[in-house]
Amino acid sequence: MIRVYKNYDLKKNSYSHLSAKVKYYIETDEIKVITGIIKTEKNYLIVGNMSKLLFAFKSKDITIIHYTNEEIKLKNNILIVHSGVSLKKLAYFAIRNSLEGFEKISTIPGELGGSIKNNASFLNQGINDLLLFLVVIDSFGNKKIILKSELEISYRNINNLDKFFIYQALFKVKKKTRFFLYFEKKKALEYRLKHQPHIHSFGSTFKNYKQLKAYEIINKFIPFKEYYGVKISLMHANFIQISPFLDYLNIVKLIERIQELVYNKLSFYLETEIRIIY
Ligand SMILES: Cc1cc2nc3c(=O)[nH]c(=O)nc-3n(C[C@H](O)[C@H](O)[C@H](O)COP(=O)(O)OP(=O)(O)OC[C@H]3O[C@@H](n4cnc5c(N)ncnc54)[C@H](O)[C@@H]3O)c2cc1C
């Protein structure tokens, strides 16, 4: 399957549903299509659910590629997962097969490729914890294996994956009772509902630091709760409220204004967890 859309507004597919027009939006579940695009296109971006992407443009000459293959296979104790699988579906599969390791992160609204790249985690469970290796496509269209030990895994990022398309991930899994896994999943969901605002957002806007959490810095040093019509959550200052018809550019203005104020007061650059595509 391949679907190609020209002059496309990403709001139809992105998690935020905000407007950003691109030259091409391509959806496919076929690896040979992805390889072909990577080999020929210069200006492209691979996306998953776009839950952590903010597009700082109204219109851009770029090709957006979304791999939609949702296949999961279990061979003995090895789980083989295509990067188009959502964490929700992965956790559902794992729990149904009594496999531990994905139950808490099921509440993260991303797909496998984006979650691996962002090194997503929740309540001490990370998507890369059980990873053995990745099958990737490099910028020349070649398939390669990258072992976990070769990855530069850091907080909310894998630093040396920028030039690769993540095709599949292989995890080593262990059994656990379904009862326990359901219970852990329920607890994780309850924790999220209790501690995070019930608004449409990109999740955490800024990275947290050992000494200070981003929301503490914002509460202490930012004198406003709204900027260019974009609201900071009153419950948790590291969350920005997404509402319909909001302009991506105004969210960028809010983020950069916070960075400017924090830098000028603390000589410290507050990095975003959200990836801004300029
Ligand atoms: C409400 C909310 C709550 C969240 N809670 C958490 C949380 O608790 N913990 C946490 O860690 N994160 C959290 N996130 C962040 C986010 O959901 C994760 O980082 C997520 O898993 C990203 O997946 P995605 O499919 O949306 O990726 P995208 O946003 O589409 O992409 C993220 C990055 O990965 C790259 N990418 C995507 N697919 C591929 C691929 N196949 N190959 C190579 N590169 C690829 C993109 O180019 C981009 O750089 C939250 C987000 C929201 C909106």
Which residue lies with its CA nearest to atom 31 of ligand 1?
Answer: 114
Domain end marker among 44, 67, 90: 67
Average pLDDT over residues 225-231: 96
Alpha carbon of 265 to ligand 1 centroid (Å): 30
When pLDDT is averaged across residues 6-21 and rounded to a whole number, the result is 96
In a domain, 203, yes or no: no
Verify that 91 and 45 share a domain, yes or no: no
d(CA 101, CA 176): 9
220/168 same-domain check: no
Q: What is the CATH number of the domain that holds 85?
A: 3.30.465.10
Residue 177 lies in a domain: yes
Residue that terminates a domain, selected from 195, 227, 243 = 195
For ligand 1, atom 51, which residue shows the shortest CA distance? 203
Same domain, 78 and 189: yes
Task: Give which of 95, 97, 117, 99 is closest to 49, Cα–Cα.
Answer: 117
What digits encode the pLDDT tens for the residues 33-79? 999 999 999 899 999 999 999 999 999 999 999 999 999 999 999 99
Q: What is the pTM of this model?
A: 0.96
Residues with CB under 6 A from ligand 1: 15, 45-53, 67, 83, 108-111, 113-115, 117-118, 120-122, 165-166, 201-203, 275
Q: What is the mean pLDDT of residues 152-164?
A: 95
Domain count for the chain, please give it.
3
pLDDT above 70: percentage of residues in the chain: 100
Domain containing residue 121: 72-195
Task: Report if residue 128 sits inside a domain.
Answer: yes
Residue at a domain's end among 14, 33, 67: 67
C-alpha–C-alpha distance, residues 74 and 18, integer Å:
37
Helix ranges (H only) for the chain are: 31-40, 87-96, 112-117, 178-195, 214-221, 248-266
Could you tell me if residue 205 is inside a domain?
Answer: no
151 lies in the same domain as 138: yes
CATH number for position 34: 3.30.43.10
Domain assignment present for residue 52? The answer is yes
CATH number for the domain harbouring residue 273: 3.90.78.10
Asked if residue 266 belongs to a domain, the reply is yes
Closest atom of ligand 1 to 115 CA is 21
- Residue 62 counted as domain residue: yes
